[in-house]
Structure 1
Amino acid sequence: MSRKLEGAAPRTRLPARSVDTHMHLYAPQYPQLTPGPLVPPDCPGIDEYRRLQRWLGLEQVVIVQANAHRDDNSCILAALDAFGENARGVAVVKPETPESTLAELHQRGVRGARIMQLPGGAVGLEHLLAVNARVREFGWHCIVQFDGREMLDHVPLLQQIDNPFIIDHIGKFLGPVTPQDPEFQALLKLMDRGNCYVKIAACYESSHTGGPEYADTAALSRALIAHAPERVLWASNWPHVSQSVDNAPDDAVLLDTVCGWIPDQKTLERIFVHNPRDLYDFS
């Protein structure tokens, strides 16, 4: 079964210069590296993603290093070269990554470093401060993903960051959490510091109520948007590698669902255009 890359257009008409802030690309010449997760058998790449962009009405993109490729950023660099100024990248950086490598990554469009405290991640939270210290010199930020049920444990670490950083996937609460629970309230307080962004993405990965409405992650997303819309980002999380191809969400339907959580056009433009353009240095 092939991935759905076209169909009925979304009901939502996205504003010009809308940015997808988190997706992954693969290519046969860049194999899976141990102990990362497997590369999808169909290797969804640049051509497939461009079809998705046309279908959804997207113009610019942030390509995030796939866990399957560990710290070999070759695949995203090739994609950045292909997309040009319409793309930025999030790479895997280690504390010992040479300065010359960081400079090359920056020149080719990388603006962030990935920290992943979940199975398959290449660089975990124990390296966050060291990696952040390296990349902030280039005006980059770290994107951070962990099980949100551990939020209270990680807040002291995250509070040590005084430049921008991003919490992925609505906080990635892998157990049921409500907007009133202390773990989620701690996330809101991080946003209040002024440098913490949260990405509205992959609602299907942590929802316990399920689609198509994802009522539980919808409630969290609405609370984030109401609390600090200036620090919320949207992302497709395409090609949804946590799901099988036949169980992956319909991207047009998912986009409409998420946009239904956004109260008005001004906020939609803030989340899809202004916030990511400021953070990712798009021209």
Structure 2
Amino acid sequence: MTSLATNPPGIVPGMEMEVVHSGGTQAPAHPVPPGAVDCHHHIFDPRFPRANSRSAIWGTVDDYRRLKQRLGLSRSVVVSPQSYGFDNRCLVDALDALGEEARGVAAVPLDVSDAELDRLHRHGVRGVRLYLIGDAPTPPDRFIEYARRIERLGWHIQVIAVEGEALVAAEAAFQALPCTLVIDHFGYVPQPEGVAHPTMATLLRLLANGKTYVKLSAPYITSRVGPQSYADLDAVAVALINAAPERVLWGSDWPHTLVISDPKPDDAAMLDRLTRWAPQQSVRHRILVDNPQQLYWKD
């Protein structure tokens, strides 16, 4: 098993600097442990035009390296965004540039060839991202077909629900999956209902099956309180961590394409929020280091 217990050369425990598409300049008030992972960010490189011709936000590998340095992170997981469709050239280029300190989650059609899956695996891809609703949704009962395609590689399925209710409707299909499931962005638990919403009960049941992870990422999607605390997500985060601290992940969602106006999210402040959700250092270490190691670097 690959283990990166210390920070790679050039990465220090956090330092003040400006980073494109990130609010603030300060390092986190609470330094992260060596080996800490940002489990959800994107790369948008103008060398690789997007399928839908979007061009409002570009965030390159060099830009992201500055964020990593500011936050003191050691590793990261590059997630293929919807705007690139099934074009994984930008993702692969980013993974090659970041090297062993990065893993990836790709977007592929169900009929993708085994040779292409093998190629992506060699470049560091360890999962496939599917959408429940949106421009190209995958019906929940089709997820198992993807699971069969990726089973031999030990990959997981990462799902973006977009709406909390979509996750509730998909629960039975997800409970039947033979592979690991990773749920983005707090499961899109709607606010202001929060922990009282049926989506929360669904998330907790999925976490209880031992095969599901959830990402504490992009709180601005559902928060009604807004920047920079997004405090209405606190109860949701605490409940998820208390339920399954061994299967919770943290991600920045940089470069925050869903935030189209200022202020931009302060990534250091969002990372510091983890100390409110998990006051025990051992639990934060599990979320930032141990859980990503098990999911993305197990081989």
Please report how far the alpha carbon of residue 250 of structure 1 lies from its aligned counterpart in structure 2 after TM superposition. 1.1
Shift of 1:88: 0.5
CA 108–95 in structure 1, closer or farther in 2 if over 3 Å, else same:
same
**Which residue identity lines up with residue 3 of structure 1 in the other structure?**
H
Name which of 19, 36, 41 aligns with 2:37: 19
Q: Does 1:117 align with 2:132?
A: yes
CA shift for structure 1 position 185? 1.2
Deviation sequence 1:231-265 (CA, Å, 0-9, x none): 10000000000012533211111211233211210
Q: Does structure 2 conserve the Cα–Cα contact (< 8 Å) formed by 1:203 and 1:214?
A: yes
Distance of 1:122 and 1:94 partners within structure 2:
11
- Structure 1 residue runs without a partner (length 5+): none
Give the counterpart of 2:51 among 33, 40, 53.
33
Alpha-carbon shift at residue 26 of structure 1 (Å): 0.9
1:134 aligns with 2:149: yes
Select 1:59's aligned residue among 56, 74, 82: 74
State whether residues 33 and 68 of structure 1, in contact with CA within 8 Å, keep that contact through their aligned partners in structure 2: yes
Say which is worse superposed, 194-203 or 213-222, in terms of deviation.
213-222
Which structure 2 segments of 5+ residues have no match?
Answer: 1-18
Question: Among residues 171, 179, 183, which one is paired with 1:167 in the alignment?
Answer: 183
Q: Could you tell me which residue of structure 2 aligns to residue 264 of structure 1?
A: 280
Q: Deviations over 1:201-220 (max 9, x none)?
A: 01111112223332321110
* Amino acid aligned to 2:50: Q
Secondary structure, in 3 states, of the residue corresponding to 1:131?
helix
Aligned partner of residue 236 in structure 1, secondary structure:
coil
From the superposition, tell whether residues 136 and 223 of structure 1 become closer, same or farther in structure 2 (CA, over 3 Å). Answer: same
Provide the aligned C-alpha RMSD in A: 2.0
- Partners of 1:28 and 1:150 lie apart in 2 by 33
State the distance in 2 between where 1:118 and 1:215 align.
Answer: 27
Matches within 5 A, 1:85-104: 85-104=100-119
> How far apart are 1:129 and its partner, in Å?
1.7
Q: Distance in 1 between matches of 2:139 and 2:93?
A: 25
- Alignment correspondent of 2:170: 154
Tell me whether 264-273 or 120-129 shows the greater mean CA deviation.
120-129
Q: Which amino acid letter does the alignment assign opposite residue 18 of structure 1?
A: A
**Matching residue's letter, 1:210:** G
* C-alpha displacement of 1:175: 4.8
Q: Distance in 2 between matches of 1:121 and 1:246?
A: 29
Contact 1:148–1:174 under 8 Å retained in 2 = yes
Q: TM-score, normalised by structure 1?
A: 0.92
Distance in 1 separating the partners of 2:71 and 2:156: 27
2:215 is matched with 199
Give me the whole-angstrom Cα distance separating, in 2, the residues matched to 1:109 and 1:232. Answer: 21
Q: Structure 1 vs Structure 2: percent identity of aligned residues? A: 36
Deviates most, 154-163 or 118-127: 118-127
TM-score (norm 2): 0.88
Q: 2:90 aligns with which of 54, 58, 75?
A: 75
Aligned 8 A contact 1:4 1:250 in 2: yes
Q: Say whether the 8 Å CA contact 1:71–1:122 is kept in structure 2.
A: no
Relative distance call for 1:55 and 1:170 in structure 2 (3 A) is same
2-structure distance, mates of 1:86, 1:245: 31
Cα displacement (A) at 1:182? 2.9
What is the DSSP-based 3-state SS (H/G/I as helix, E as strand, rest coil) of the residue aligned with 1:77?
Answer: helix
CA contact (8 A) 1:171 1:187 kept: yes
Kindly indicate whether the alpha-carbon contact (under 8 Å) linking 1:129 and 1:161 is maintained by their aligned counterparts in 2: yes
